Chains A and B, each alone.
Chain A
Amino acid sequence: MASIRLENVWKTYPNGHVAARGVELSIADGEFMVLVGPSGCGKSTALRMMAGLETPTQGKVMIGERDVTEVPPQERDVAMVFQSYALYPHMTVRDNLAFGLRMRGAVPATISQRVDAAAKALGLERVLDRKPGQLSGGQRQRVALGRAIVREPMVFLFDEPLSNLDAKLRLETRAELARLHRRLAATMVYVTHDQEEALTLGSRVAVMSEGRVEQVGPPLEVYRRPATIFVATFVGSPAMNLLPAELVPAAPLPGSAKASGTTMGVRPHDLAVTSPGSGEVDALVDVVEPRGSELLLYLRLGASGDGPELRVITPPDLEVAPDQVVGLRFDRARLHFFDRESGRRVERPGTAP
């Protein structure tokens, strides 16, 4: 059993910075939970509190049924992969991998057997006797990963482990992590600021902002039904368009909401370009960005182009040029409405979960 629970966790640093404001988070055994948010949102602090590297100012941290709030890291059965990898520079790869087992008093036979197995699984056999300084970035990353794996811990914690890799290696390692999770079936908590990484890796995603958890749910759920304006704009790329609802007279407002107090959100993929006058609104094309498989248009609402900016994704073969007026059609089933004051989602009747 290695579920993790943060119960009303607060963290105030001595310099007055509040990194966690009543974080509530429950991670099930074997789950791949991704904490995602912009830098400074408290996601790393939350992870470090699970590791025991930070002690909450208030609240409880539970691993399994054990209250570990005050337990130092070496007495929790967790492994962590750091953003900088934090490999011990004076030890060989073999000693780096063996360190955790040695500290926990494993017998030499077990150590060498597990180190060899991990090195084989990660393709590190040829570099076992090198020092970290002689390795490439990708190899260092795998050593950091291997150091966590050999321990066979109850919980894996990842602090932006892919952010120092180049794009290609990042994609490969991402897939490798997903395979690793399937193979080990261990509880994994993963911190990233990259929403795409969060959506692709997580069995569930927790979106954080300013020390609070904004929404927790499966990636598609978070993408399709963002609970707040923050989540709506943070998750998904390009970001969701937000409009004051009164600018779109045809918008199918939720029953109780008034147009004047409501923000309407629509993803760039859920807008279709038509001929002027034939859609719900007209808009003026500002910039056209071909992206290979699709076209990204920047538009301004209104035929004269004096409204707010909108982003639209269209098929790549659409004939469109800057300063052209086009019509826009909304996918009515995929509109989002938020209360302008609280920022919370307003549910349309009949679509509530």
Chain B
Amino acid sequence: MRSQGRWATLVMAALVLGAAFPFFRAIAGSLTPEAQLFEGAPLWPSPAVLEHYRALFAERAFWLPIRNSLIVAGSTTLFCVTIGSLCAYALARLRFRGKTLLLGVILAVSMFPQIAIVSPLFLLLRSVRLINTYPGLVLPYLTFAMPLAVWLLVGYFRQLPAELEEAAMVDGASRLRAFREVIVPLALPGLAATAILTFVYSWNEFLFALSFTLGPERQTVPVAIALFRGQYQVPWGQVLAAAIVATAPVALLVLAFQRRIVQGLTAGAVKG
């Protein structure tokens, strides 16, 4: 037993190291002077310099794509969770015709390969003049994030006992009020997990963001980083610094809510 435990720890450590090493290299690289980057860069630079970060914000106005990303990912998450939870609640609880079909269609929609709908979506967005706007990104993101959110939340709501909202309704709450006062507080772990997954998805999305924006004033972080490369050279130091800046908030968010996410994702699997 004991040696088994030791093996498990060893394998786990190897896995974590393997997964964390590129991230570590990115941090180290972002602190290495440009000149040293391609001459057998040391494992940890000495002296560590912040020039890439300075360049990022001073020369490239990197705060602009960050702001764009925050607005786009934030509003996608907000709409996704509010609309998605109402939708999921209806699917989980109400009896109506064609419910199974509806759930199937929702799942099918999320299966379309993104690349297949970029061109039609572009034409559509252009005809309603939404190219290079925030709604022009939020709306397409919702079409992908919503099905996932609805599926997660339907599963979560289903495992809450129906008697709780029945009690609330007999107590005098309307269905919406029962939802708000009883179901939502109890479903918080599930809602938090859904919100974070949606946020991370929208934060990382690249293809739509690249296709539906035209200039830096609406470009999101992934697009901005991709466009760092000039005609003759790639400023790797700045790319790495930007990657760290883009990853850090998401990583912190996930770490902070880790327990809730696990709770939310495994909900319904086992009772308790």
Contacts and interface: CB of A to CB of B under 8 A. Distances in A.
Interface in B162-218: 163-164, 166-175, 177, 181-182, 185-186
Nearest to A82: B163
B271 interface: no
Given A14-B95, A89-B186, A90-B185, A84 B171 contact: no
B164 A88 contact: yes
Contact of B169 (A53, A88, A89, A90): A53
A74 B173 contact: yes
B161 interface: yes
A51 interface: yes
A103 B167 contact: no
A183 interface: no
Which of the four size classes fits the interface of chain B?
Answer: 10 to 19
Contact of B168 (A72, A99, A151, A157): A99
Contacts of A80: 166-167, 170
Contacts of A79: 170-171
Contacts of B181: 99
Which of the four size classes fits the interface of chain A?
Answer: 20 to 34
17 contacts: A14-B95, A52-B170, A72-B174, A74-B171, A74-B174, A79-B171, A80-B166, A86-B161, A86-B167, A87-B167, A88-B167, A90-B182, A90-B185, A99-B168, A103-B168, A103-B172, A147-B171
Contact of A100 (B163, B166, B171, B175): B171
Interface of B: 95, 161, 163-164, 166-175, 177, 181-182, 185-186
Contact of B166 (A53, A87, A89): A53
A17 interface: no
A104 to B, nearest CB: 4
Given A74-B169, A88-B167, 6 more contacts: A72-B174, A74-B172, A82-B167, A99-B168, A100-B171, A151-B172
A25 B105 CA distance: 45
A198 interface: no
B167 A90 contact: no
A78 interface: yes
Contacts of A151: 171-172
Interface in A172-215: none
Given A14-B95, A88-B182, A103 B163 contact: no
A56 to B, nearest CB: 15
